[in-house]
Amino acid sequence: MTDVRAPETDPFDPAAEPDDHPRPGPSSPGAAFGPADWLKWGWRQLTSMRIALILLFLLALASVPGSMLPQQGSNPSGVQQYYTSHPDLAPWLDRLGLFNVFAAPWFAAIYLLLFASLVGCVVPRTFRLAGSARTLPPRAPRHLARLPRSAEYTTALPPQEAVEVAARVLSGRGFRLRRPDDADSSQDWVSAEKGYLREAGNLLFHLALLGVLVSVALGGLFGYKADRLLVQGQSFADTVSALDEWHPGRFVTAADLGPFTMTLNRFDASYIASGEQRGQPSSFDARVTYTEHPGGPARTFDLDVNRPLSVDGAKVYLIGHGYAPEFTVTDARGHVVYKQPTPFVAGASGNFLSEGVVKVPDAQPEQLGFTGVFVPTAVNVGGTLESVFPAADNPAVSLIAYAGNLGMDSGAPQSVYELDTSAMHRLTASPQVLQPGQSLKLPDGRGTVTFTGYVPWVSLAITHDPGQLPALICGIASLGGLLLSFMIRRRRVFVRARSGPSAQNGTTVQVGGLARTDAGGGFEAEFAGLAAELRSAHEQAAQIPPVQPPQQQAAEPRHEGE
Amino acid sequence: MLRALSRGTLPARALPVRARRRRRVVLAAIVLAGVLLIVVLVTSLAGSGNSGVSTVGGNASTVVYQAGHRPLAPEFTGTTLTGSKLSFSSYRGKVVVLNFWGSWCVPCREEAPILAAVAGKYQPSGVSFLGVDVRDTTASALAFTHSFHVAYPSVIDQSSAITLDFTAKVPIAGTPTTLVVDRTGHIAGAVFGTVTYPGLTAIVAKVTAEGG
């Protein structure tokens, strides 16, 4: 973090400088080191600044695989691709939780330890800072000339009055003052300190930091994240059975989901048609209609990549899109047993060459299955279809048909993007290419499959994070506190007045000053100005003695100082 | 800085101090690793209950609501797979078995023959059966009802809006879910997951026996 170190010790005493490193370690010779000492030592280690920094670094390091490997939550198809391309490595990575880094136990371990470390460090510090913000300045040192800044002059005022005048000036400049105690009245001095806002800023920074941690925890416990793939023209309600993925916080149940419903009316994506950027997306626009609660008024909204919809405490983000080719399948009896747009997912090869499967579990006499590739702008390159542009300018699908047992009548739930062909046999020797409107007749009178067209789909991320706004506020507050603590210096000014050796010499006024945390300078000029001001105030006061004026100087124009 | 300076002026102590500090760092690293390991174990044990979708499973849980504690089933209207309008309020005064299903859902396909058998037994004695077809298409759903000889109607709930209404009353977390609604329109029992023949018939028999 910063050098925000609780200033509980006096800067004049380097030996008392607070030491960040925990001291009586097990290596210290002598007394036996019991379990309680170990515990104490461990806690001191954990809450030390160094460990906090190490944990912060570890946290950053631990999130690296989260951005380098596809993640289960945000990119499940990417994970599947990784499994097929690295069949040996992927299970091990999965065992280590690297496909779901932010939910992995070891990530939580670092996070929780950091949390404990910060709380253990910040809470006592907060108390110390609060105490420090209320302390009085120390007593004036005896030899002010030894301070980094000092000045000395004489005045005709008696010492007590000189100090009085100085106190008035300093108090007028916003200094906090300390005068000798009653028992100490033989001395004439005043200590003044300014810049307590630095401690306030420090305090704000620490409290806000705690606030950020609490907000993040709040979001983790009471928030949820969900994904839903929505085909153009379809609707969904924010309820668990309508979501593809649902990751609730620890205290979130199915009943906590917001009761909104949403329909995707239209999705448009446009791409740069020429030049070096050809094929790059230039704009997305998902027009949705939504109602906040059943029976509520329907509203429309244009979702864009960085323009989420806030509805009912949740935020809906547009995070992806693709094509859903529409198929109609008739079986051997001539019954239409499948008629729907089927979302295909774009692979790594670019230009939205997408893959998907069609499962027809109720076809007679045997179940049917198809694996397919959707090519938005198809070009035949040496017998294989390739996509040369992401927009659907010349769409085509290529299908391989299977018949047999899909494995859907019992057993584990299946992915809609995978076809288990272990109990099926292939009906077509080679992939069959279809253009919109074209049909493929299946052998042995098993029926037909027709590629009737395509519609776009979008994938939506629905998040509810009650900690988001508090985290933002605390973040801003911590930044403000940090700025305050960086920009404001604690500085002290002391004034001592002593009677001179003889009455003619008057009173010697010594002014000394130091900035307690001076990094950049600037105190020099402030001190010089302050010393000059004190001097002129003393001169002025000496010319108008309040008690026994030696001579009347009514016409004297310098009155304003009084 | 000041500390470093003062140590610098004491060269005789410099080496042991450095050695001691190094040992401390090593110890700190060991302790940190140990604590990390413990926290990993604890969180992996505690975190297992929180793994996303917990919906379609073979293990069903059955809830029976006692009279007086039964949530009121919400009213809904919809279109059946065969295209006619259906209003749930027209079932008032009858015991209704309400099954949330989808042709794509493996456990729904598993329980379909059981439901058909229970329907065959209780429909003659006045119990109504109604399906709510969730996230499905008409073509696939009709093919399903043909395959499994489902003799009762189903309303289309492609958007899960009807499911959402019911979720406010009972924690429906997916398909299949089967509710038994009593003659006053209150939910008397719920099976979350695949039904069993004895399990479902027990609830239906109990609610039917309540007179009326």
Closest among A338, A508, A325, A303 to A399, alpha carbons compared: A325
Interface pTM, i.e. ipTM: 0.72
% pLDDT > 70, chain A: 87
Confidence of residue B149 (pLDDT cuts 50, 70, 90): very high
pTM over 0.90: no
Is A212 within 8 Å of A225 (Cβ atoms)?
Answer: no
Q: Give the start-end residues of each E strand in chain B.
A: 61-64, 77-79, 85-87, 96-101, 128-134, 154-157, 177-181, 187-192
Q: Does the beta carbon of A26 lie under 8 angstroms from any beta carbon of chain B?
A: yes
pLDDT tens track for A419-477: 988 999 999 888 999 999 999 999 999 999 999 999 999 999 999 988 888 999 999 99
pLDDT tens track for A239-270: 888 888 888 887 888 778 878 999 999 999 99
pLDDT of residue A562: 38
- Is pLDDT larger for residue A123 or for residue A18? A123
**Beta-bridge partners for A362:** none
Q: Does the beta carbon of B178 lie under 8 angstroms from any beta carbon of chain A?
A: no
Per mean pLDDT, which of A150-164, A342-356, B83-97 is the most reliable? B83-97
Closest among A213, A301, A228 to A258, alpha carbons compared: A228
The mean of the pLDDT values for chain A is 83
pLDDT of residue B48: 40
- Is pLDDT larger for residue B10 or for residue A132? A132
In this predicted structure, the answer to whether residue A336 has a pLDDT above a threshold of 60 is: yes
In this predicted structure, the answer to whether residue A560 has a pLDDT above a threshold of 60 is: no
CA distance B47 to B39: 11
pLDDT tens track for A279-289: 888 889 999 99
Out of A27, A106, A239, name the one closest to residue B163 (CB): A239
Q: What are phi and psi of A265, to 5 degrees?
A: -75, -40
Helical spans, DSSP H, in A133-172: 159-172
Out of A50, A113, A338, name the one closest to residue B140 (CB): A338
Token pair for A509: 């006024």
Strand order in the sheet with A491-499: A149-155, A507-515, A491-499, A189-194, A176-178
pLDDT of residue A184: 61
Confidence of residue A503 (pLDDT cuts 50, 70, 90): low
pLDDT of residue A45: 85
- Is pLDDT larger for residue A45 or for residue A503? A45
* Helix/strand/coil (H/E/C) assignment for every residue in B165-191: HHHCCCCCCCCCEEEEECCCCEEEEEE
Q: Does the beta carbon of B76 lie under 8 angstroms from any beta carbon of chain A?
A: no
Q: What is the CA radius of gyration of chain A?
A: 38
**Most A CBs within 10 Å: which of B24, B61, B134, as the mutation test of the A interface?**
B24
From first CA to last CA, the distance across chain A in angstroms is 48
Token pair for A110: 């670092």
- Is pLDDT larger for residue B7 or for residue B163? B163
Closest among A192, A150, A188 to A500, alpha carbons compared: A188
Per mean pLDDT, which of A43-57, A87-101, B190-204 is the most reliable? B190-204
pLDDT of residue B73: 94
A130-156 average pLDDT score:
85
pLDDT of residue B25: 64
In this predicted structure, the answer to whether residue A550 has a pLDDT above a threshold of 80 is: no
In this predicted structure, the answer to whether residue A515 has a pLDDT above a threshold of 50 is: yes
Interface of B with A in 11-30 (CB under 8 A): 20-21, 23-24, 27-28
In this predicted structure, the answer to whether residue B148 has a pLDDT above a threshold of 90 is: yes
What is the CA A17 to chain-centroid distance, rounded?
34
**How far is the alpha carbon of B45 from chain A, nearest alpha carbon, in Å?**
9
Burial class (CB in 10 A: 0-12, 13-18, 19+), A105: middle
A98-111 average pLDDT score:
81
Nearest residue in chain A measured CA to CA from B167 = A255
A492-512 average pLDDT score:
82
pLDDT of residue A101: 80
**Most B CBs within 10 Å: which of A239, A290, A340, as the mutation test of the B interface?**
A239
- Is pLDDT larger for residue A201 or for residue A21? A201
Quick check: bond before A281 cis, omega within 30? no
pLDDT tens track for B15-56: 566 666 666 666 666 666 666 666 665 555 444 433 332 333
In this predicted structure, the answer to whether residue B173 has a pLDDT above a threshold of 60 is: yes
